[in-house]
Homo-oligomer: A and B are copies of this chain.
């Protein structure tokens, strides 16, 4: 049995590095702002290295700053890992990523406390820049390990918001550009288990306690650029406009309608326009489009129909009721740019079963509907480990499904449940 109090205490202690916004009265009601490779990230990394070394682990750092702490087992061979990330969103919470790493360390402590010798070695991974919030590709360092991105591409990423630092220069600056090759070939993983808050409302709404994650849905991120023509809002009648903002509004609504029709998701989280004056019709709008589906085929279907419909809608043709009621103008053009392409991931059935069995063992007679197989709506480093190693994830509920927000919250009970299931799953897999 893991020590639930110790887990809770350690987790909140390390959240002193990179503290964010206070959102409540409690001592731990404070969000996190620990961008990857920042000074605060260096502090928590140093803590991670010191702690795992003091637990008897051999610690290695690869060329992407990924940290692998390994506790020796009886036999040689790739370790069974718990992996997650210690970096956060700029206005993030205390559980997304952080819980998974702390639970892994709690597993190691429990193994030590109980003097358990595993068949193969076990360990904990802290992946670099899972969030993609500072250097703008999420899961980029596990992606390099998996061969999905080149080291050059990852090194060259420049921080968002106008700064000059690159992912490489910051790895060097904080002393975490390691000598180990960032590659599944040079540094194979035996299995990867990732405990994470669900970041959505499904478990909470259905009174589930543990999600045994079977896979991750497919997603693609696009930047859509709508080009029209600036003109005066007061002197230009509708017929003579090429209104990029009105067009963007139609496209965003249509992406929602079509996604709903096809059982997919579509969301716009960023929108910028030019020139940005109350009495100038914008000639330029750019917005993000994040589309998701459990099936690659469905996602492609949605992408294709939107590509064709967007062009028609922007050209003021009648599609989906969007150019029926108003006055048609002169039309705009639409450009698509693909930024992220993450196909649907299926986790390894052996690993999913280890999670399920471990959850049922913990919950006992209570288990029933409280253990649920589910598909992750969000991407995680496990997407990339799954390409080269048996992988699964463990989800625990978070309050109101809220994540990427200072007020993100996972109760001590749920944190403890997650770590307990992680221990059980890792031991089961090790024996397997």
Contact = CB atoms under 8 A, between A and B. Distances in A.
A235 B268 contact: no
Contact of A320 (B138, B288, B325): B325
B404 A290 contact: no
A54 interface: no
A219 B235 CA distance: 11
Contacts of A402: 230-231
Contact of A253 (B219, B238, B253): B253
A338 to B, nearest CB: 12
A377 B232 contact: yes
A404 B253 contact: no
A375 B404 CA distance: 51
Interface string A234-250: 11111010010110111
Contact of A232 (B200, B245, B246, B324): B200
Contacts of A327: 256, 260
Interface string A366-397: 00000000001111000000000000000000
A91 interface: yes
Contacts of A276: 269-270
Interface in A73-98: 89, 91
A364 interface: no
A271 interface: yes
Given A278-B221, A321-B321, A246 B252 contact: yes
Given A234-B265, A260-B327, A279-B378, A246 B253 contact: yes
A217 interface: yes
A31 to B, nearest CB: 12
A88 to B, nearest CB: 13
Contacts of A162: none
A194 to B, nearest CB: 15
A234 B379 contact: yes
Interface in A264-278: 265, 267-271, 273, 275-278
Given A233-B265, A236-B201, A252-B246, A91 B275 contact: yes
A200 B270 contact: no
A13 interface: no
A26 interface: no
For A248, A249, A253, the residue with the greatest tally of chain B CB atoms inside 10 Å of its CB is A249
Contacts of A277: 89, 133, 269-270, 404
A34 interface: no
A202 B246 CA distance: 22
10 contacts: A201-B240, A232-B377, A233-B292, A234-B376, A243-B267, A249-B252, A250-B253, A253-B326, A256-B326, A271-B273
Among all A-B residue pairs, the 9 with the closest Cβ atoms: A200-B235, A235-B377, A233-B267, A234-B377, A257-B325, A249-B249, A249-B252, A234-B378, A260-B327
